[in-house]
Amino acid sequence: MISERIQKLKVSPLKRLFELAKELKNPCNLSYGQPHFDVPEPIRAAAIKAIQEEKNGYTQAQGIDLLREKALAHFAKRGAPQEDVIVTPALSNAFLLAMMTLTDPGDEILIPDPAFLFWKDLPPTLGVKPVFVDTYPDFRWRRERLEAKITPKTRAIVFSCPANPTGVVATDKELKMLAHFAEEHNLWVIYDEIYSLFNYEGITPSFSPLLPHRTVTMSGFSKNYGMTGWRLGLVSGPKEALGPMTQFQQTTSICPCTPLQYGALAALDYDMTPYVDEYRKKRDFLYEALAPHYNVIKPAGSIFFFVEVPEGMTGTEFAEAALEEELILMPGAGCSARDTHVRVSFGATDEQLERGADILVRMAKKYGNVTV
């Protein structure tokens, strides 16, 4: 008695692992896709003030004008001016809006392998086929691999920068190649920059200046400001796309949470540099611990390592073995056609990272090092 649409939403293979993890008495959790710090106090105070000032009713569907104007100024300052921007109830909802607006049943989208798991799990419920484009071993785009996957049904390319789960930041050469490819094949580009502040080697590149009339940029507050539970995102791009997306948002969620939008307004003025510096140190610590024992690329951004597991084991088997050590990891199979890696998050306290690193080194010695 339930729809075929919902039946296409597969039960995550990670569910069993996380059920097992509930039994752990003293877990070391390096699976989280969120920073360990709380929302900075001035941002929380702005949201509380809005509640106390009775800013608790509906807003317009696309969000309050103050936040949208500041977001547009923020994009322009980064050298990526946008035609329009709307505030969404989370970036995941922005992706749903993009799929509903830019694709039809029977269409295909190209996503990197590996990719954020939501991109492969949601589209089939809408009749859209996600097609993996292999980026192993260095997690870089190659034109010939894109060409091998495109069909007359392809409508969009979806990717993130910095990338989840690999932490890779695309080069200017890659981005220009993707823009030319999308232009030649009349594709949309859906660009996810939710980890834009967490780039440890420079400024996260914007994609929209390369293809302004065909790019929808998804960003927001969850990861950059530790506001994962607030569920506030931004989606920007040409009005041709954002007008229909606003209409769809109005018929589903009505509008984003009102008082939290005022918190987000304060976030855009808040300097997160000390947090980024702290996370650079976390990244460097974990890389120095893992690199002698595992085949792993040092992430330029995000809060993740994508670690190849020892030969003879799958990523899922390695994650299950880690549970015996009370370490929780995310198997790479959740976001890839391959089951050869695990995602390790450094969105944790230093104490948790030190404990997790010790366990991973111990496991490398037990199951065999994986070095290049």
pLDDT of residue 11: 63
pLDDT of residue 14: 66
Domain ranges of the chain: 4-39+272-367, 42-267
pTM of the model: 0.93
Tokens of 157: 């390319």
pLDDT of residue 372: 45
CATH of span 42-267: 3.40.640.10
Q: Answer positive or negative: Cα dihedral of 255, 261, 265, 267.
A: negative
Alpha carbons 356 and 286: distance in angstroms, whole number: 9
pLDDT of residue 19: 77
CB 196 within 8 A of CB 219: yes
Beta strand residue intervals within the chain, DSSP E: 28-29, 84-88, 108-113, 129-134, 154-160, 188-192, 215-220, 233-237, 304-308, 327-328, 330-331, 341-345
Alpha carbons 175 and 112: distance in angstroms, whole number: 13
pLDDT per residue rounded down to tens, the chain (372 residues):
778 887 777 666 567 777 777 788 888 999 888 899 999 999 999 999 999 999 999 999 999 999 999 999 999 998 899 999 999 998 889 999 999 999 999 999 999 999 998 898 899 999 999 999 999 999 999 999 999 999 999 999 999 999 999 999 999 999 999 999 999 999 999 999 999 999 999 999 999 999 999 999 999 899 999 999 999 999 999 999 999 999 999 999 899 999 999 999 999 999 999 999 999 999 999 999 999 999 999 999 999 999 999 999 999 999 999 999 999 999 999 899 999 999 999 999 999 999 999 999 999 999 876 554
Taking domain 4-39+272-367, whether its CATH number is 3.90.1150.10 is answered by yes
pLDDT of residue 33: 84
Alpha carbons 264 and 193: distance in angstroms, whole number: 16
